[in-house]
Amino acid sequence: MRVGVFGGSFNPPHMGHINSLQTVIKKAGLDQIRLVPAMQNPLKLPVEGPTTEQRLAMVQHAIAGYGPQFVVDDQEILRGGKSYTIETLKNLRKKIQAEDLFLIIGADHFEQLHLWKDYKKILSEANLVVTTRPGYDFPTQREDLPEFLKELVAEYDFNFIELTTGRNIQFITLKDVEVSSSDLRRKLRLGQPTQEKLPLSVEKYIRDERLYRNVGERISDYKKFTEFCGNFLFGKKAIAVKGFDLRKMTAPSEYAVVASGSSTRHTASLAENLILAVKEEFGIHPQSLEGVDEGRWVVVDYGSLIVHLFYDFVRQEYALENLWKEAVDLGLKDVIL
């Protein structure tokens, strides 16, 4: 059989995933697609959300009724720890020939494939199916490909690449179903409608299990929580740490902390260490996390508190404080000084 492998956090599984499955199985001529929920993506920090078991149950609900060709594979969850695709492929290769195995990834992940563990080995253990949205320009020649891939190209013909590893890469355009998991989680936390974005069975499961609640339910005093985050950042040598009470103005949160790092690496490190400290002290992960890969502007969302961490040069460019002239400056000070 020609078997596709479709991994991810599935937090939550949505109609964008279903659209991708239905399009790929048809256009790539696959007999089966195995959905593999990850235990922990090694390239992402954890965010607040459902348990591993609940994510697995949501995937099972999502594909129910779409036919036996879609199968849930829980091997990464059973394996535990960080989920590495190469280990999953090696396990499947005990039963499936490399030429009949197809790893399905989005164009955004394709651009970052060189960051995956043993990515060259991945390209020998399975073929690659890269899914794209309408409007995405396929690479039309070798020079347009990511640098890490050029040396592995044996032959290139529009949307089909033969690799020196004996495997191939195929590009497939999906129907235009734009769904963002982070946007869905935000809507669910705010009680906003998610019609046509989630399978009905998944929507019902989320409602029954009361998933994606605002983390504010576990923070008794957001002013003190804001001060904790500010003090921690001072201790990690953050620059110009400021806290604001935004309740007297229209803003996406009630409180905000703004701080800078001396470099993009320092900025990303501030976010990573703050997340660990908050988890240890309060037992929660952020509701969402954006920008940590680049480290220019990292947004750590704790519901009623949003922490903005900038590379200092970028902070001056956006000047968020100028937008909050009506806010109350909490006067955070470095207690170590």
> Which residue is associated with the tokens 């806010």?
327
pLDDT of 86-99, one tens digit each?
999 999 999 999 99
Average pLDDT (245-258) is: 91
Q: What is the pTM of this model?
A: 0.77
Q: What tens digit of pLDDT does each residue of 152-169 get?
A: 999 988 788 999 999 999
Read off the pLDDT band of 43 (50, 70, 90).
Answer: low
- The answer to whether the CB of 8 falls within 8 A of the CB of 181 is no
Selection from 42, 115, 35, 124 nearest residue 84 by Cα = 42
CATH 3.30.460.10 assigned to domain 217-329? The reply is yes
List the single range of 9-13, 122-126, 164-168, 286-290 with lowest mean pLDDT.
Answer: 286-290
**What is the Cα–Cα distance from 74 to 71, expressed in whole angstroms?**
10
Residue 251 pLDDT class (50, 70, 90 cuts) = confident
For residue 240, give Cα distances in angstroms to 20, 223, 268, 308, 322.
45, 19, 16, 12, 15
More confident residue, 34 or 193: 34
- CATH for 3-190? 3.40.50.620
Displacement of CA 229 from its chain's centroid (Å): 23
For 5-24, what is the mean pLDDT?
A: 93
72-80 mean pLDDT = 94
Distance CA 162, CA 291 (A): 34
Q: Hey, where are the domains in the chain?
A: 3-190, 217-329
Better-scored residue on pLDDT, 234 or 143: 234
